């Protein structure tokens, strides 16, 4: 009896084992089928692309060690038809860095127009008697990021032409054209002192014709002899910024190592380090604290230089509604401003344009209203707003998200707009030596296939490198591309990867 029970037990166990084998075999066959099907689906989805282009791009993406663990979003289109030629994760939202400026520039041109100018007004609430203005003088800014010290000199000349030699009142700066939020929502605290993270104000000033608004340029050159402090020059020449010079000049074989640090909420800049004798001048741009008062200080200085005496103080405040306009200064046109904005990737210009769009369309110069206007305008340009996350106009935020396919779509649609020549002219040109031609691409892509044939906007923030634009290929085709590399261990490596990819496209 015991043996019979054992036999039944083993027979049932054998049947169960065979059943399990059949189930496992079915699942294994299904798994193999899934693998085989998956193998038929490429990682990238080219549409009517030449096999050679697709193969070369895929190989670069797979083999480059710097892309291991990173994400590459790529969209390539025909510039003539808009047809997608190659796509790799093109619909995945990625951080655009300064490729965000393509969206900002297009929206600004569409909303404001290429002939748009920014105004700066001088007003007064008093009367002039015996060459004395008996009242306050107001400097009202309306967003102009291009005001230089020489422009304040011209404004002072206008006051002098009115016969005013004394101002028996205060000099008041009015920046109420925009709100009083100085930094975009996601700006890193460590960028506070940088020129690309400078405060945004409707009344501001720039040191040079690069128009880095809200900043000063500091030049440091070695002293004449070993042991001397380095010589420091600030542009514009103003006491608004205080320099603490803790530098030393070394022999010619010494190390060049300088650091610049601006105190939080102050305009005291400490320069530390060493500079060898005969070494080149070191230039650094530092964002100031309170750009409104910075502009006001420069204007007061210009008034004094023109022999106009101010008895009161410089203050900030709003202009009375009944104040009389004495003079209005206009900036360069938007089409001209777009050149330093896009070629040099100027963050301040981007944020000012966002606020200006908000002010013009919705009556409020804020990031919130400006981005609403920008989004609405981008819809008209064929962009799907549900695919975007917009946090600023410059791309400095790591929260911004844009798919490569949307950037390539924008670049295609832009060609049909009346303002496209101004837009195209603003893009950096590969290998072009001049700063206002090559911009951020002047030291890149100098080979014969790409030099002068690539017009594109670059972008870099920590772990991110992007580039989007137009390329004229070897066969005479015009192509649009957007390459977005995210999650890079070393974002500086992204540029060489992009250049290789673009060279492959250019060789078609």
Query: Mind telling me the catalytic residues?
Result: 98, 101, 345
pLDDT at 338: 98
Average pLDDT over residues 470-476: 97
pLDDT exceeds cutoff 60 at 5: no
Q: Any bridge partners for residue 292, and if so which?
A: none
Confidence tier at 32 by pLDDT (50, 70, 90): very low
**DSSP string for residues in 153-196:** HHHHHHHHHTT--EE-S-EEEE-TTS-S--S-TT--GGGTTBGG
Strands 137-141 and 171-174: parallel
pLDDT at 22: 54
- What does the alpha-carbon distance between residue 438 and residue 416 come to, in Å, rounded to a whole number? 24
pLDDT exceeds cutoff 70 at 314: yes
Could you tell me how many residues make up the chain?
508
pLDDT at 264: 96
- pLDDT 10s digits, 163-197: 999 999 999 999 999 999 999 999 999 999 999 99
pLDDT at 171: 98
Helices H, strands E: what count in the chain?
A: 12, 22
Residue 235, exposed/middle/buried by CB under 10 A (0-12, 13-18, 19+)?
Answer: middle
**What is the third-level CATH fold of 51-115+334-506?**
Beta-lactamase (3.40.710)
pLDDT at 394: 98
Give the CA-trace dihedral at 52, 54, 55, 56, to 10 degrees.
Answer: 80
pLDDT exceeds cutoff 80 at 360: yes
Average pLDDT over residues 280-286: 98
User: Among residues 113, 120, 53, which one has the least CA distance to residue 88?
Assistant: 53
Contact assessment for residue 220 and residue 275, using Cβ atoms and an 8 Å cutoff: yes
Predicted model pTM: 0.90
Q: Does domain 119-182+291-330 have CATH number 3.50.80.20?
A: yes
- What does the alpha-carbon distance between residue 225 and residue 161 come to, in Å, rounded to a whole number? 48
Tokens of 490: 């070393």
Which regions of the chain carry the CATH code 3.50.80.20?
119-182+291-330
- pLDDT 10s digits, 101-129: 999 999 999 999 999 999 999 999 999 99
Confidence tier at 48 by pLDDT (50, 70, 90): very low
- The arrangement of strands across the sheet holding 127-129 comes to 127-129, 132-134, 166-167, 309-310
Look at 43-57, 174-188, 211-225 and tell me which has the smallest mean pLDDT: 43-57
pLDDT at 19: 54
Strands 166-167 and 132-134: parallel
CA atoms within 13 A on the CB side of 162: 22
CA-to-CA dists, residue 75 to 148, 225, 505, 508, angstroms: 41, 56, 12, 16
- pLDDT 10s digits, 400-431: 999 999 999 999 999 999 999 999 999 999 99
pLDDT exceeds cutoff 50 at 299: yes
pLDDT at 327: 98
| Residues above pLDDT 70, as percent of the chain | 90
Tokens of 240: 């608004």
Give the CA-trace dihedral at 182, 188, 190, 194, to 10 degrees.
Answer: -50
Which regions of the chain carry the CATH code 3.40.710.10?
51-115+334-506
3-state secondary structure of 421: helix
As a whole number, the mean pLDDT across the chain is 92
Phi-psi region of 139 (alpha: psi -120 to 50; beta: other; left: phi over 0): beta
User: Among residues 469, 463, 459, which one has the least CA distance to residue 486?
Assistant: 463
- Angle separating helix axes 347-362 and 334-343, nearest 10 degrees: 140
- What does the alpha-carbon distance between residue 78 and residue 85 come to, in Å, rounded to a whole number? 7
3-state secondary structure of 260: strand
Contact assessment for residue 345 and residue 438, using Cβ atoms and an 8 Å cutoff: no
Number of other residues whose CB lies within 10 A of the CB of residue 253: 7
User: In whole angstroms, how large is the CA radius of gyration of the chain?
Assistant: 30
pLDDT at 14: 42
Tokens of 343: 């070629």
| Residues above pLDDT 90, as percent of the chain | 90
pLDDT at 51: 65
- pLDDT 10s digits, 55-65: 999 999 999 99
């Amino acid at each position: 009896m015991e043996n019979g029970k054992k036999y039944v037990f083993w027979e049932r166990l054998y049947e169960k084992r065979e059943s399990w084998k059949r189930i496992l075999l079915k699942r294994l066959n299904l798994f193999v089928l899934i693998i085989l099907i998956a193998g038929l689906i490429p990682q990238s989805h080219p549409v009517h692309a030449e096999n050679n282009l697709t193969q070369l791009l895929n190989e670069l993406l797979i083999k480059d060690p710097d892309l291991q663990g990173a994400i590459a979003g790529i969209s390539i289109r025909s510039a003539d038809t808009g047809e997608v030629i190659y796509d790799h994760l093109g619909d995945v939202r990625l951080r655009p860095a300064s490729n965000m400026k393509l969206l900002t520039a297009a929206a600004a041109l569409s909303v404001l127009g290429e002939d748009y100018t920014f105004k700066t007004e001088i007003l007064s609430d008093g009367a002039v008697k015996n060459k004395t203005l008996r009242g306050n003088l107001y400097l009202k800014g309306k967003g102009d990021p291009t005001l230089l010290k020489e422009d304040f000199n011209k404004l002072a000349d206008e006051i002098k032409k009115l016969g005013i030699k004394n101002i028996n009142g205060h000099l008041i700066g009015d920046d109420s054209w925009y709100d009083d939020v100085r930094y975009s929502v996601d700006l890193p605290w460590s960028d506070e002192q940088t020129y690309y993270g400078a405060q945004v104000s409707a009344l501001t000033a720039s040191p040079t014709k690069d128009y880095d608004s809200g900043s000063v340029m500091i030049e440091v050159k070695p002293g004449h002899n070993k042991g001397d402090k380095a010589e420091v020059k600030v542009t514009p020449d103003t006491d608004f910024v205080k320099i603490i010079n803790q530098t030393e000049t070394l022999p010619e074989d010494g190390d060049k190592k300088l650091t610049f640090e601006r105190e939080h909420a102050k305009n005291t800049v400490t320069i530390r380090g060493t500079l060898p004798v005969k070494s080149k001048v070191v230039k650094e741009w530092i964002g100031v604290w309170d750009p409104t008062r910075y502009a006001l200080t420069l204007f007061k200085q210009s008034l004094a230089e023109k022999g106009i005496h101010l008895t009161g103080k410089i203050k900030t405040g709003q202009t009375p509604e009944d104040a009389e306009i004495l003079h209005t200064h206009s900036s360069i046109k938007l089409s001209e401003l777009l050149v330093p904005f896009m070629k040099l990737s100027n963050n301040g210009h981007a944020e000012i344009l966002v606020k200006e769009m908000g002010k013009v369309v919705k009556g409020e110069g804020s990031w919130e209203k400006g981005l609403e206007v920008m989004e609405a305008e981008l819809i008209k340009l064929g962009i799907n707003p549900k695919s975007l996350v917009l946090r600023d106009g410059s791309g400095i935020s790591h929260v911004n998200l844009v798919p490569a396919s949307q950037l390539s779509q924008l670049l295609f649609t832009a060609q049909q707009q009346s303002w496209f020549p101004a837009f195209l002219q603003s893009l950096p040109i590969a290998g072009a030596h001049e700063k206002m031609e090559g911009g951020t691409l002047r030291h890149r892509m100098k080979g014969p296939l790409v030099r002068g044939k690539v017009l594109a906007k670059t972008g870099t923030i920590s772990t991110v490198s992007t580039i989007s634009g137009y390329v004229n290929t070897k066969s005479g085709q015009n192509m649009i591309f957007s390459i977005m590399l995210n999650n890079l261990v070393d974002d500086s490596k992204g540029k060489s990867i992009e250049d290789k990819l673009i060279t492959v496209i250019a060789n078609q």
